[in-house]
Structure 1
Amino acid sequence: MVKCVSSFLLFSLLSVQAMSAENHIDLHQPKDFVDITTVAPDVQVDMRYFSSHNFIGRPI
């Protein structure tokens, strides 16, 4: 029972932290940046800088 409650609390904490990080990023965007999904909602953004499946073939 303790393990279940601990897992739930950890998951909750990580979820809240992820949500706050997302808001933090939004606050630091320059005013002239435009979210592409507001202009063209059908656009699919594919950012691949973290993996080796990108334009230079290795993580950046």
Structure 2
Amino acid sequence: MVKCVSSFLLFSLLSVQAMSAENHIDLHQPKDFVDITTVAPDVQVDMRYFSSHNFIGRPIKGYNA
């Protein structure tokens, strides 16, 4: 029983820690580059270059991220 409770608590702790981790990618952007969400947090960004659901109707080469 103790092992079961310990396993559950460990799983819960790791789950909370994983959910609270910030998704941050360092892209080495120029100094004057501004992330739009820091200036206008209500802006919704929708990147559609990888799929065919974009402005040209087909996947764009080079966006295989």
Count matched residues. Answer: 60
Gaps of 5+ in 1: none
- Structure possessing the higher radius of gyration over alpha carbons: 2
Alpha-carbon distance in 1 for matches of 2:21, 2:7: 21
Report which stretch shifted further, 47-56 or 13-22: 13-22
Runs of 4+ with >6 A deviation? 1-24
Residues 1-56 of structure 1 show CA distances to partners (whole Å, capped at 9, x for unaligned) of 99999999999999999999998842511111100010000000000000000010
Gaps of 5+ in 2: 61-65
| TM-score normalised by L of structure 1 | 0.56
Task: Indicate the percent of aligned positions where both proteins have the same amino acid.
Answer: 100
Distance 1:55 1:24, change over 3 A: same
Provide the alpha-carbon RMSD of the alignment. Answer: 5.1
Alpha-carbon distance in 1 for matches of 2:58, 2:3: 39
Aligned position for 1:56: 56
Structure with higher helix content: 1
